[in-house]
Amino acid sequence: MVVLFTGNQIPADGIFISSGSDFDVDESAMTGEPEQKHKGKSDPFLLSGTFVTKGTGKLMVTQVGERSEWGKLLANLEHSDEATPLQTKLGRIV
């Protein structure tokens, strides 16, 4: 269990348990969507690397490190041997 406050970065993937007030999260680092998301019974999943923008609450950790969604994303970026389209174009210029 992790207690989260406004301004905290969420350290691991997990399920939102309880809140003393409204609980909103900025998931733009993971989803690219600029809107804050309200978390509660209808949407209880929290992702590591995102930020609490409003409220306090508890997180029941389910995944950490390389097994979290953030960890999987970083692992895919680090192990990709394929050049991106931009890297290919830059290689032709040089």
Please give the residue range of the domain that contains residue 79.
2-93
- The pTM score is 0.71
- Distance of alpha carbon 38 from alpha carbon 52, whole angstroms: 10
Q: Total domain count for the chain?
A: 1
Cite the DSSP H helix spans in the chain: 28-31, 69-78, 85-93
**pLDDT tens sequence across 36-79:** 999 988 889 898 889 999 999 999 998 888 888 878 877 777 66
What CATH number corresponds to the domain at position 63? 2.70.150.10
| Sequence-ordered list of residues with C-beta below 8 angstroms from that of 29, at least 6 positions apart, any chain | 49, 50, 51
